[in-house]
Structure 1
Amino acid sequence: MCGFGEREVALVRSSWDRLMQNIPHYSIRFFTSIVEIAPVSKDMFSFLRDSDEIPLNSPQLEAHAVKVFKMTYESAIQLQEKGEVVIEDSTLKHLGFVHVKKGVLEPHFEVLKGALLNIIKEAMREKWSEDMNNAWSTSFDELATAIKREMTFSVEGVEFLLQPEI
């Protein structure tokens, strides 16, 4: 991807390091932000569905948040090194399938992106910048594009699997 270089990766890396210093807190804040932006999204996450509040000590919640943060962070590095986001085929197929199964649509990706940017901004405080916002946004957008591409293939695969046997 043109324009994604060492500077952008450095911005993502510095904010990643700050985020990881207090990942339990930022994981809870991430899902709180998602639910604040789109309250109906709560039911899409099994670890939130049966709770009136965001659980404070949920290993599932933290693991899911870390996965989103880490994949976006790794996407930044790949954009600089390879010019594209490359996800292991089996992982990408799994992500596509799970997102289709959960009913994830285009607006859901935007909610996740908004929550991600909110949390990075919160973690970085005075060091937050428009350039940092753009670096994380680009990384997330490229990751989301890869997942959405696989969702299209998963939809076709699921439709095929759901056809009645003859």
Structure 2
Amino acid sequence: MGSISFSEEQEAMVKEAWELMKPNVQELGLKMFSLVGQMLPEAAGMFYFLKDPNQIPQNNPQLRSHVVKVFTMTCESAAQLRQNGKVVPVGSTLKRMGSIHLKKGVQESHFEVIKVAFLKVVKEAVGEKWSEEMGAAWAEAYDQLAAAFIAEMKIQSAN
């Protein structure tokens, strides 16, 4: 895995969008997880708080902290992609995250569904600032993060 080509323009778009989203990160994260729950009913079993996709317990403190973590990690990793040349998840180790996702039965294909939900939420959140280029920058950043998770999950399942 060579260094990632993530341009200054892409980095700037991601950072701009992240600044716009930061104040509403809980709400955006909840929206993303409810989309995931609708698109991927089997994911509901992985997140106890998604048991009923129509009834997301928005005031569940664990759900709130989880969505903030996921959303923040994706956005912060994206914002640092060019500088680091690779994904560096913030706030937790990839190993720990990989093992949790593995235990919960997260599949490689689930990352694609989450990506669709994530991009949809970003697009809504940034409104008229959205462009095809911004979408491509976020997609690239998300793919890099997902690839890092998947690689870690593979290492752990082989052990």
TM-score, normalised to structure 2, is: 0.88
Alignment partner, residue 96 of structure 2: 94
Change (3 A) 1:24 1:68: closer
Structure 2 equivalent of residue 149 of structure 1 = 151
Hey, what's the Cα distance between the residues in 1 that align with 2:24 and 2:30? Answer: 10
What residue number does 1:136 align with? 138
Correspondence for 2:22: 20
Q: Which runs of 5 or more residues in structure 2 are unaligned?
A: none
Aligned residue in 2 for 1:110: 112
Counterpart of 1:4 in 2: which secondary structure?
A: coil
- TM-score, normalising length from structure 1? 0.84
Contact kept, 8 Å, 2:94 with 2:149, in 1: the verdict is: yes
8 A contact 2:25–2:72 mirrored in 1: no
Q: Does 1:57 align with 2:59?
A: yes
How big is the shift at 1:46? 2.0
Query: Which of 2, 5, 12 in structure 2 is aligned with 1:10?
Result: 12
- 1:48 aligns to 2:58 (yes or no): no
SS in 1 for 2:93: helix
1:77 Cα deviation from its structure 2 partner: 3.0
Contact 1:96 1:148 in 2 (8 A): yes
- Point out 4+ residue stretches in structure 1 off by more than 6 angstroms: none
**Distance of 1:24 and 1:77 partners within structure 2:** 19
The answer to which of 137-146 and 65-74 deviates more is 65-74
Greater radius of gyration (CA)? 1
Provide the identity percentage.
Answer: 44
**In the TM superposition, what is the alpha-carbon distance from 1:10 to its structure 2 partner?**
1.4
* Aligned residue among 33, 45, 53 for 2:35: 33
Instruction: Give me the whole-angstrom Cα distance separating, in 1, the residues matched to 2:83 and 2:109.
Output: 29
Unaligned runs of 5+ in 1: 158-166
1:120 counterpart residue number: 122
Q: RMSD across aligned C-alpha pairs, in angstroms?
A: 1.9
What residue is the counterpart of 1:78 in the other structure? 80
Maintained 8 Å contact 1:12/1:135:
yes
The total of aligned residue pairs comes to 156
Q: Note if contact 2:26-2:68 (Cα within 8 Å) is conserved in structure 1.
A: no
Q: CA deviation at 1:52?
A: 5.1
